[in-house]
Amino acid sequence: MSASARSSDNRDRLVTSKPGCCRVASVQGAMLVALFGSAVAAAGADNVVFQNDLAACVTPRATELRTETNIVSAVVDFQGHKPIGACGCMSALAAYTSSVDVEGVRQTVLEGIVALKRMEPKTLVLAAEPALIAGRQVHVRLTCARPS
C-alpha cells in the first residue's frame, strides 16, 4: 500500500468508522457547490442590489460574484464622497446585511462589518451556502456599524 493510500485510509478511520463514506460526502458536497456556485456566478454581480443608508458618503458597486467552497462573496468597489462619519457613523466601520426574497418575504442570509477607512475594493461575504441565494436577487443593506 502506498503512503498516500495509507494516509487516506487513516483519515477515513479518524473521521468515521466506515471507510470511504466521507469521500463520497465530500464529492457530493463539491458537486452541489459546483451546481449552485455556477448558478450564482451565472446570475452575476448585476443581481446584487444595494439599499444604501450611507449614500451621501459612499457609493458601493458589485463588480464580481465569487463562490469558493460554500462561501458566496461579492467584490465591491466603494466610491467615497466624504467620510462615513458625516453620515452619522461613529467609526469607519459599516454594517451590511445580505437578504433575499423568498415567496414575498425578505429573509436575512448573512450580516457583516466592513471597514471603509480607505476606499478600495472589498470582498463582502453574502452567503455561507450558495443554495440560499441561487436564482434570486441579493439585497445588500449598508448602514453604520453599532458602536462597540
Q: Which of 18-32, 37-51, 73-87, 108-122 has the lowest mean pLDDT?
A: 18-32
Read off the pLDDT of residues 67-126 as tens digits, 9 standing for 90 and up.
998 999 999 999 999 999 999 999 999 999 999 999 999 999 999 999 999 889 999 999
Strand-pair category, 93-102 with 138-144: antiparallel
pTM of the model: 0.71
The domains located in the chain, with CATH, are: 41-144 (2.60.40)
